[in-house]
Chain A
Amino acid sequence: MKTNDLILQTATKVVVFIIILFSWHLFFSGHYTPGGGFIGGLLTSGAIVLLLLAFDLKTVLAFLPIDYIKMTATGLLIALLTGVGSFFFDAPFLTHTFSYVDLPILGTTSLATAVLFDLGVYLVVIGVTMTIIQTIGETE
């Protein structure tokens, strides 16, 4: 039986971007307002899950050709490396620093190495969630 889910698919195409933008907002603002890597990652994967619901596994893989296990590994590696990086400055493991930098468009912005660590968390959470959902989804 062929179902017509045009409305769902069209709505998805719009909504996914909103969700992803919202998740990025949560991720980037995590240091100042509620949010952060974990919830940001969960929402991003929520967007991808929505794609999976509206389309099917193969289609989603075609335009998001991501190996989520590698994504998990990358996230872990980034988190680890931010920790290791502090060794180069003769500081204990996972010592973070921040400073205010003048950026061309954004003006004076505080940049923290903690965000890099959070990026690792973000990637791991997406990777993990998507691995679980994809693996379970693939089995019959």
Chain B
Amino acid sequence: MTLLHVAILSPFIIAILVPFLHNYFQKIHTGWFILPLPILLFVYFLSLISSTMNGETIRNTASWIPSLGINFTAYIDGLGLLFALLITGIGALVILYSIYYLSKVKEQLNTFYVYLLLFMGAMLGVVLSDNLIVLYTFWELTSLSSFLLIGYWYEREKSRYGAQKSMMITIFGGLLMLGGFIMLYMMTNTFSIREIIEQVPTIAQHHLFIPALILILFGAFTKSAQFPFYIWLPDAMEAPTPVSAYLHSATMVKAGIYLVARFSPVFAGTPEWFWIVSAFGIFTMFWGSFNAIKQTDLKGILAFSTVSQLGMIMSMLGVGSAAIALDSIDDSYYTVAILAAMFHLMNHATFKGSLFMIVGIIDHETGTRDIRKLGGLMGLMPITFTISIIGAFSMAGLPPFNGFLSKEMFFSSMIRIVELNIFNLESLGLLFPIVAWVGSIFTFIYSMVLVFKTFTGKYQPEKLEKKPHEAPIGMLISPIILASLVIVFFFFPNLLAYTIIEPAMASIIPAVLGDGEHFHVHISPWHGFTLELYMTIGVVALGILGYFTLRKWSGIYRFIPERLTINKGYDAALYSLDKSSFHLTRFYMTGSIRNYLLYIFTFFIVILGTSLAVKGGFSFSLEGNASVGIYEVILAGVILIGTITSLFAKSRLTSIIALGSVGYTVSLFFVLFRAPDLALTQLSVETVSVALFLLCFYHLPEFKKPEKKLNFNWPNFIISLGVGTIVSLLALSANSQRVSETISTYFIENSYKLAGGKNMVNVILVDFRGFDTLFEITVLGIASLGIFGMIRLQVRKEEER
């Protein structure tokens, strides 16, 4: 355990203390106790920047299950540190915000902060683990804590629905991802990502390579809400707003991005990776922005906007993977995509975090998030308005905000893709910039909707639950910090570029770097009159047009029938799974013992019959058999008659007596085959059991007594015939294929010598194998106690009645 491990695990440790702090210091908002932790962690991770800037990495291992190669290896490189800074930085701001957002009196703060800390620790574990299994463990912990946080107001139906949905989808992806991890382990024999990357040249041709790639991408796409798995994210907006701001915009949904970036050195360079990541990403970008306009809930808009922006980052990671295929640093065109992805990741965290907090403030101050009820809040909430302008304009990609820079880089990486002539890009590649551009127009429109429908227009106080006024300063601190970062990053983007983004790029596409080489990126706000700039101008022009004519063209959303949405598909799938498994179970679990016996016996016949046939097990030889005497034939005849009588007898009494005759004949057989002990026992036991049968017969209820013959039923007949045949065949072939001598000679020789007895059966029972007898008498004892208990308890119940 090193300081790094302690840092990763510290949220879990503090989480244990939260309930105590909450109970002992009820006057102080619990959040204040939590706040120092992310700040400390943030400072700690900042202090590590200097080493990652020089291309160093930190790797510390703590043993967990060393025998299986599963160790808690904390690993810090540029990529991990970028995420760790995001998690702790945004985490601190979100906790500060939540202190003012959540009421000390009304809410269960202890559970909230426990979940939040669980999440923070899990997230840190995901991004700083080198071991796949540890990564997976933390990954599922994020799903779990996110589930708890979405369902925080568990008394609401929609919260529970959203929590369940996100759980189902992210765990589904997580499990598939685990499959991918195991495949990686099968290929490389190690769980360490570092060591896997070293083995990439040898495993690229392995037949499990592509399945592992696809399975891991399933994990990334479900977590990062890519098409078609984005559907859980809008429903996750039922969570408290700090949670939405933290989990569903800045951190958790970027775990998938992290995964794609982390595994880029392994999988990037293959056409499958390129196409899946960038095509799904770019389509998600378009689809999310297209659907965001339809929303009337502010958080709904932001949810779809998050989906869209995540798609954008994902597509840039996919496009950037082309850089590896080209395999040289001179093609810096494509490394730009990775740069843009990382830069936009930071930018998105800043502006989306602030926007969520703003929406939370609006909700808090007006009592609604519905844009149809809101309007004209500009004068009432000037600070909120300013921040939302900054956030939304940055989201739309306007200068002087950081979103502009990343959007320009996004465009340039999309344009350059057309020039590539690998992976069939010369023909299909043109789609990328077009879809990106159209998606950006929609992005612009919903960003404008978000600001102007809320803050301008007609003020409708009669529709609001509260009288709106500016939020308290404590609530505004976090969004103000984030919004100022939005501007700072625009004017000084290279602050980030040199310190954080260059090392992160180095860990995503190490292959294009030679020994000791560094990425040299320089982000400048102004890059001349390029195609990208004209595209942005086009976006703004068409976006403004689209915004003002929104009412006229919003009819197109009605072309998509409600029933064909993915959400409906998800619901229908869940419903039909539920229904069909219910029907299936009801179909075969009839509750009738007859049916179950049919299944058991059919299975018996099929399994034994097939294995007998397939393995050629059947053989029949008369060699070594004793000769058949007249007595055996007569007794066999008697038994046959008894059996047939008991089957076809009209009266039950006849059946019982026929059964008794069979039992006594068996004891005669024992006599004939020289087993006097068995004969004696069989005689007395048969007597007792016939007496018990008669007892049961006597106590049959009167009204059900009409005695009739056994109903004949073909399936039963066939199955019983089958069982009989199979057992006979088995017995015959087992008898014909003895593989070894019996051990009975040993008993014959030694029963008097060793045990001092001449009755071999009894000697075996009490001496050689007394252990069996001990438990057989125990069985008898249990049976008698069972009968005693059953009858006595019943008697007592009747008395009580």
**A residues touching B (Cβ–Cβ < 8 Å)?**
26, 30-39, 42-43, 46, 68-69, 72-73, 75-76, 79-80, 83, 93-94, 96, 98, 110, 112, 114, 117-118, 120-121, 124-125, 127-129, 131-132, 135-136, 138-139
Contact with A along B747-774 (1 / 0, CB 8 A): 0000000011111011101110011011
**Are B766 and A117 in contact, with the CB atoms below 8 A?**
yes
A-side contacts of B792, CB under 8 Å: 135
* 10 A-B contact pairs sorted by A residue (CB < 8 Å): A32-B759, A34-B677, A34-B761, A42-B684, A96-B767, A114-B756, A120-B777, A127-B781, A127-B784, A136-B692
For B794, the closest partner residue in chain A by CB is: A139
**Are B770 and A42 in contact, with the CB atoms below 8 A?**
no
Q: Report if B382 contacts A (CB, 8 A).
A: no
For B679, the closest partner residue in chain A by CB is: A34
Shortest distance between the CB of B648 and any CB in chain A (Å) = 30
A-side contacts of B761, CB under 8 Å: 34, 36
Q: Known: A33-B759, A35-B759. Is A128-B781 also a contact (CB below 8 A)?
A: yes
Select which of A43, A83, A136 is within 8 A of B774 by beta carbon: A83
Q: Known: A42-B684, A131-B787, A139-B791. Is A36-B762 also a contact (CB below 8 A)?
A: yes
For B751, the closest partner residue in chain A by CB is: A31
A-side contacts of B580, CB under 8 Å: none
Q: Known: A30-B762, A136-B791, A139-B795. Is A112-B756 also a contact (CB below 8 A)?
A: yes
For B780, the closest partner residue in chain A by CB is: A128
The CA of A30 and the CA of B761, in the complex, are separated in Å by: 9
Select which of A37, A75, A112 is within 8 A of B757 by beta carbon: A112
The 7 A-B pairs with the shortest beta carbon distances in the complex, nearest first, are A98-B756, A34-B676, A31-B757, A128-B784, A131-B784, A124-B777, A36-B762
Number of residues of chain B lying within 8 A (CB) of chain A = 37
B-side contacts of A43, CB under 8 Å: 684
Shortest distance between the CB of B699 and any CB in chain A (Å) = 9
Most buried by B among A38, A43, A80: A38
The CA of A38 and the CA of B755, in the complex, are separated in Å by: 19
Shortest distance between the CB of A123 and any CB in chain B (Å) = 9
**Are B787 and A114 in contact, with the CB atoms below 8 A?**
no
The CA of A98 and the CA of B692, in the complex, are separated in Å by: 40
A-side contacts of B787, CB under 8 Å: 131-132, 135-136
B-side contacts of A127, CB under 8 Å: 781, 784
Shortest distance between the CB of A15 and any CB in chain B (Å) = 16
B-side contacts of A121, CB under 8 Å: 766, 773, 777
**Are B774 and A42 in contact, with the CB atoms below 8 A?**
no
**Are B680 and A39 in contact, with the CB atoms below 8 A?**
yes
Q: Report if B488 contacts A (CB, 8 A).
A: no
**Are B770 and A83 in contact, with the CB atoms below 8 A?**
yes
The CA of A34 and the CA of B774, in the complex, are separated in Å by: 20
**Are B781 and A72 in contact, with the CB atoms below 8 A?**
yes
**Are A93 and B771 in contact, with the CB atoms below 8 A?**
yes
**Are A69 and B785 in contact, with the CB atoms below 8 A?**
yes
**Are A114 and B767 in contact, with the CB atoms below 8 A?**
yes
Contact with A along B491-516 (1 / 0, CB 8 A): 00000000000000000000000000
Q: Report if B783 contacts A (CB, 8 A).
A: yes
Q: Known: A31-B763, A69-B788, A121-B766. Is A76-B781 also a contact (CB below 8 A)?
A: yes
**Are A94 and B676 in contact, with the CB atoms below 8 A?**
no
B-side contacts of A120, CB under 8 Å: 777
Q: Known: A69-B788, A117-B770, A131-B787. Is A31-B688 also a contact (CB below 8 A)?
A: no
B-side contacts of A68, CB under 8 Å: 784
Shortest distance between the CB of A80 and any CB in chain B (Å) = 7
B-side contacts of A33, CB under 8 Å: 758-759
Shortest distance between the CB of A16 and any CB in chain B (Å) = 16
